[in-house]
Amino acid sequence: MQLKRSVWVPAAVGLLAVVSGGWLLQQGTQGNVYMRQRILQDVIRTVSDRYVEEIDPADLYDLAVEGLLERLGDPHSTVLKPEDYSDLRLQTTGDYGGLGIRIDEKDGWITVVQTLPNTPADRAGLRPGDRLVEVDGRSMRGWTSDHAATVLRGPKGSVVDLRIARVGVDRPIPVHIVRDDIHVQYVIGFMYEPGIGYIQQSQFSAKSANDILRRVQSLSHEGMRALILDLRDNPGGLLDEGVAVSDLFLKSGAEVVETRSRIADQNESYYAEQRPIDPGLPVIVLVNRYSASASEIVAGALQDHDRALVVGEPTFGKGSVQTLYPLPGGNYLKLTTARWYTPSGRSIHREATDRHILAMRGIAPVEITQVADTANAEVYYTDSGRTVFGGGGITPDLNVSSDTLTRVEREFRNSLGEQLAAYSDAVFRFAVEYVNDRPRLSADFEVTAAMLDQLYAWLKANDIEVDRELFDGTRRVIARELGIDLATVAFDEVTSLRRRLVLDRQLDTAVELLRESRTQEQLFSLAETRQAELRAAAREE
């Protein structure tokens, strides 16, 4: 027995050395790719055969690939499974086969938040507030929005049978719907006030430039003399569309962005090719910490060429190009192959911290300072000689933080604790019932004190514990939230968006600047004065 033990221990130690250490026997295998491939195969085989818990060899190969990509430290390089690739195509095209509804998880049920006009859901009579309780005979209780969206999508002409629960109706209603082609609208535009147009672009899809062009032309016919292009919370999308949107505003021949790679054929500069629309139109671009990728290309190009004033917060800093490489089984490798640089030579790329990586995976919020630290930043210059700053992301010409909650408003949020989701669901249900009782609600409705009192009583009746004093001290925020839900339930996307823009400090600043400026040059001058005043005030504090 002793002899067996003395033989086994060195063998175990030797195996440990092979698996965990000397990556591996480096003196003899340095640079030997073939040997390292053999080592990887041997490790996978040994783990599969002898690890304390049984693991499928196929899973081990997946783990090896995931580990390799994770060690790159790049959150944008990953393997896309077929369903992931399908989601990516939806994001970049905006087209899918489905019903035409926006859904959310409320009170443990998938709930219709909005129906898109002229879609199968709209024609079938689905309404905001309807709960989807069954799909094709399966209960939907406890489903996530992502899972529901996957199941509800399907090819044009295919059928889905739903059972819905509706406020005021005792029994679930059967609904038979034939799926159709749906186009997600990523661009919304309207006249914010006389003379000032507003366009929000939430993502860069395959039709972004054309959609913005149509909106600008329409607003120009309505008397627009200045434009706000809102790229806040826009995660980006297609490089070509970022270039095409920039092309709408820049002079022909102006550089938009440069890609630099260690691969020669991916070193390329992109230029504006078309005649700009209304070159004298004053433009402000709004950005924030969640503006990324193609949003940063547009903001950087328009800033460097003095075509727009950039207002808001420093952007995310996603300045890299991903290329898709097909793999067996319908999988794709999405790999970072180049970085983006603005026309003045600034790198958009911000080095990814652990928090950035978590944020990109949706695990943690991004925390980027709202006021740019330009003391040690690299200095660059625009076409006219204005100073802009490098160091990753796009630093606005005028830093304006988003509206912050007061002490009482923060206390109200904190007091809800674990009830926060239930509170939000209850406000939405209140909005659904309020609209059902008032089918002639006007789009310019006012959220009155009486309505907020009704909401407070509704919350109490639905067992949401709310401190009355804190509730009253938070009325401006609660009124905004209720206004958004009422507009979403009763009206279209434009009306809903208008309500979301209430108490928007960054937008209000942009509007004030445009009211006082008639040219782009006046806009730059006024913003420079404002920025100097903010810096002076900060030094005094």
Question: Domain 188-320+339-399 is in which class?
Answer: alpha beta
pLDDT at 98 over 70: yes
Report pTM.
0.84
**Highest-confidence range of 75-84, 173-182, 223-232, by mean pLDDT?**
223-232
> CA separation (Å) from 404 to 226, 370, 504?
27, 12, 10
304 belongs to the catalytic site: yes
Q: Nearest-CA neighbor of 75 among 256, 293, 240?
A: 293
Phi, psi of 293 (to 5 degrees): 60, -120
pLDDT value of residue 26: 46
Q: Is 293 a catalytic residue?
A: yes
Q: CATH assignment of 95-183, given 2.30.42.10, 3.40.50.450, 3.10.180.10, 3.90.1300.10?
A: 2.30.42.10
In whole angstroms, give the CA distance from residue 96 to residue 80.
18
Q: Which residues contact residue 143 at a Cβ distance below 8 angstroms, ignoring those fewer than 6 apart?
A: 105, 110
pLDDT the model gives residue 540 = 66
pLDDT recorded at residue 483: 96
* Res 367: pLDDT: 41
> What pLDDT, on the 0 to 100 scale, is given for residue 38?
85
Q: Which residues pair with 336 in a beta bridge?
A: 322
- Of 130, 304, 397, 425, the catalytic one is 304
- The mean per-residue pLDDT over the stretch 267-295 comes to 94
Is residue 535 pLDDT above 80, yes or no? no
Closest CA to 173 of 183, 163, 182, 161: 163
- In sequence order, which residues have a C-beta less than 8 Å from that of residue 263 and are 6 or more positions away? 337, 338
Residue 198's φ and ψ, nearest 5 degrees, are: -135, 130
State residue 95's pLDDT score: 75
* DSSP per-residue letters across 211-276: HHHHHHHHHHHTT--EEEEE-TT---B-HHHHHHHHHTTSPTT-EEEEEE-SSGGG-EEEE--SPP
Question: What is the C-alpha to C-alpha distance for residues 345 and 144, in angstroms, rounded to an integer?
Answer: 44
Q: Which member of 208, 291, 293, 295 is catalytic?
A: 293
CA angle 376, 378, 379 (to 5 degrees): 115
3-state secondary structure of 407: helix
Q: Tell me the HSE value of 424 on the side-chain side, using a 13 A CA sphere.
A: 12
Does the structure show a pLDDT above 90 at 534?
Answer: no
Q: How far apart are CA 352 and CA 243, in angstroms?
A: 24
Q: How many CB atoms lie within 10 A of CB 339?
A: 15
Return the SS3 of 301: helix
The DSSP 8-state label assigned to residue 369 in this structure reads -
The sign of the dihedral angle between the CA atoms of 325, 36, 352, 62 is positive
**Higher-pLDDT residue of 90, 197:** 197
Q: What is the pLDDT of residues 442-476, one digit of tens each?
A: 999 999 999 999 999 999 999 999 999 999 999 99
pLDDT of residue 85: 75
Average pLDDT, the chain: 87
pLDDT tens figures, 352-384 = 654 444 444 443 444 434 445 566 788 999 999
Buried b (16+ CB within 10 A) or exposed e, 207-216: bbbebbbebb
- Residue 167: the pLDDT is 83
- Burial label for 82, CB within 10 Å (0-12, 13-18, 19+), is exposed
Q: Quickly count: other Cβ atoms within 10 Å of residue 267's Cβ.
A: 12
Can you spell out the DSSP letters for 437-453? H-TT--TT----HHHHH
pLDDT reported for residue 357? 44
β-pairing, 173-178 vs 180-183, is unpaired
Measure the CA angle with vertex 122, ends 145 and 443; round to 5°.
95
What is the average per-residue pLDDT within 80-101? 79
Of residues 155 and 189, more confidently modeled: 189
User: Is residue 40 predicted with pLDDT exceeding 90?
Assistant: no
pLDDT in tens, 215-245: 999 999 999 999 999 999 999 988 899 999 9
Of 106, 207, 318, 334, which one is the catalytic site residue?
Answer: 318
How would residue 179 be classed by pLDDT, with cut points 50, 70 and 90? Answer: very high
CA distance 278 to 307: 11
CA–CA distance, 193 with 242 (Å, rounded to integer): 27
Alpha carbons 122 and 98: distance in angstroms, whole number: 12
What are the tokens at 230?
């809102």
